[in-house]
């Protein structure tokens, strides 16, 4: 065997050994959390009248266990006063109200904000928009540029007349890099001109790739700003408990998320395997045809068997 042949053979052998070593045996160790579910007691709620009774029944159960302190609800321009939101607030739940695109696209945003604040004086936290560029959840979308103009107007009006209210920026898209890049665009368009004491940065986060992109943007641009994860969750009910075990600590660790809102208490009773169905994220199901069915995560949080 020539010296050159021996060298090539050794390089190939070592390369094969190195690849072969990529096994679980060599996987990095990680601290395990044995102190219970690393839950954050905040849940997104679709304030639908048909679920009024179900919410009235299950929210106190979660509250008794200390597993529900706050909820995020949508405020829709066309519906007037929402009795379900009023009911949830009356239970002692702290509410975050989402000001949707319909309001933000109104030429007289300030007047619409006055109406919202007058309608829901019990709400202190308002999220200004949610995934505003996403056509799947907004009947009318808006560009980030237009959004930032609207946010600035809401911010200025709130600071002038309602300084006790706290605003949360729109939650950007939760999968892939899109949300992080959009958040970075918001920074470039003047997000940091608004006080970190008066504006919380909201993000939606469903995947590890999104965590990575958000963490980069937060490290580089958003030191000093509070971070709330306004949506996260898993559409496979059997994976939800494990998702909380694994992903919630990641959100706190990498994004310093003060709060994490689970998506969602109930988003319909569709078959979870139906394309586009959000029902897999549900904590409770069969709302339209009781008895209620509880997801494994809900059972864990509520301490119930069935």
Which residues form the interface with another protein (CB under 8 A)?
3, 6-7, 10-11, 13-15, 17-18, 21-22, 24, 26-31, 196-197, 208-209, 212, 215-216, 219-220, 223-224, 226, 252-254, 256, 258
8 Å CB contact between 116 and 76: no
In degrees and rounded to multiples of 5, residue 127 shows phi and psi of -95, 120
Q: Residue 189 and residue 20: Cα distance in Å, rounded?
A: 48
Task: Considering the complex, state which of residue 124 and residue 141 has its C-beta at the smaller distance from another protein.
Answer: 124
Q: Residue 105 and residue 180: Cα distance in Å, rounded?
A: 23
Task: Considering the complex, state which of residue 101 and residue 158 has its C-beta at the smaller distance from another protein.
Answer: 158
Task: Considering the complex, state which of residue 78 and residue 163 has its C-beta at the smaller distance from another protein.
Answer: 163
For the bound state, the minimum distance from the C-beta of residue 259 to another protein, rounded and expressed in Å, comes to: 11
Task: Considering the complex, state which of residue 7 and residue 79 has its C-beta at the smaller distance from another protein.
Answer: 7
State the greatest distance between any 2 C-alpha atoms of the chain, in Å, as a whole number: 88
8 Å CB contact between 88 and 43: no
For the bound state, the minimum distance from the C-beta of residue 36 to another protein, rounded and expressed in Å, comes to: 15
Name residue, tokens 């339209």: 288
Give the pair of three-digit tokens for residue 45. Answer: 């709620």
Task: Considering the complex, state which of residue 9 and residue 139 has its C-beta at the smaller distance from another protein.
Answer: 9
Q: Residue 273 and residue 137: Cα distance in Å, rounded?
A: 20
3-state secondary structure of 257: strand
Helices (H), 34-105: 52-64, 83-90, 101-104
For the bound state, the minimum distance from the C-beta of residue 9 to another protein, rounded and expressed in Å, comes to: 9
Quick one: which of 228, 131, 139, 134 has its CA closest to 170?
131
For the bound state, the minimum distance from the C-beta of residue 29 to another protein, rounded and expressed in Å, comes to: 5
For the bound state, the minimum distance from the C-beta of residue 169 to another protein, rounded and expressed in Å, comes to: 15
For the bound state, the minimum distance from the C-beta of residue 168 to another protein, rounded and expressed in Å, comes to: 13
Cβ-based neighbours of 106, under 8 Å, separated by 6 or more: 77, 112
For the bound state, the minimum distance from the C-beta of residue 78 to another protein, rounded and expressed in Å, comes to: 35
For the bound state, the minimum distance from the C-beta of residue 11 to another protein, rounded and expressed in Å, comes to: 6
For the bound state, the minimum distance from the C-beta of residue 303 to another protein, rounded and expressed in Å, comes to: 24
Task: Considering the complex, state which of residue 6 and residue 175 has its C-beta at the smaller distance from another protein.
Answer: 6
Angle between helices 208-221 and 240-255 (to 10 degrees): 20
8 Å CB contact between 67 and 301: yes
Task: Considering the complex, state which of residue 247 and residue 294 has its C-beta at the smaller distance from another protein.
Answer: 247
Task: Considering the complex, state which of residue 48 and residue 196 has its C-beta at the smaller distance from another protein.
Answer: 196
Say which DSSP state 281 is in.
G
Cβ-based neighbours of 163, under 8 Å, separated by 6 or more: 198
């Amino acid at each position: 065997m020539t010296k050159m042949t021996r060298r090539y053979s050794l390089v190939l052998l070592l390369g094969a050994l190195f690849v072969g070593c990529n096994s679980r045996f060599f996987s990095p160790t990680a601290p395990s959390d044995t102190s219970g579910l690393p839950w954050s007691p905040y849940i997104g709620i679709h304030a639908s009248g048909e679920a009024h009774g179900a919410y009235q029944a299950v929210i106190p159960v979660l509250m008794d266990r200390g597993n529900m302190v706050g909820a995020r609800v949508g405020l829709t321009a066309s519906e007037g006063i929402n009795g379900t939101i009023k009911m949830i607030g009356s239970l002692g739940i702290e509410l975050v109200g989402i000001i949707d695109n319909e309001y933000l696209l109104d030429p007289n945003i300030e007047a619409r904000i006055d109406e919202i604040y007058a309608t829901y004086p019990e709400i202190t936290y308002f999220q200004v928009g949610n995934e505003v560029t996403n056509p799947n959840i907004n009947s009318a979308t808006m560009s980030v540029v237009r959004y930032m103009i609207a946010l600035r107007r809401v911010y200025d009006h709130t600071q002038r007349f309602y300084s006790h209210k706290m605003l949360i920026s729109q939650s950007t898209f939760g999968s892939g890099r899109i949300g992080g890049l959009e958040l970075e665009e918001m920074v470039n368009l003047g997000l940091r001109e608004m006080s970190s004491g008066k504006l919380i940065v909201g993000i939606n986060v469903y995947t590890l790739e999104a965590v990575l992109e958000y963490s980069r943007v937060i490290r580089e641009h958003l030191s000093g700003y509070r971070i709330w994860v306004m949506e996260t969750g898993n559409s496979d009910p059997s994976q939800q408990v494990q998702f909380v075990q694994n992903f919630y600590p990641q959100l706190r660790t990498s994004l310093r998320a003060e709060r994490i809102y689970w998506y969602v208490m109930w988003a319909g009773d569709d078959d979870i395997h139906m394309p586009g169905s959000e029902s897999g994220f549900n904590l409770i199901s069969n709302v339209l045809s009781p008895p209620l069915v509880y997801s494994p995560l809900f059972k864990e949080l509520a301490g119930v068997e069935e």
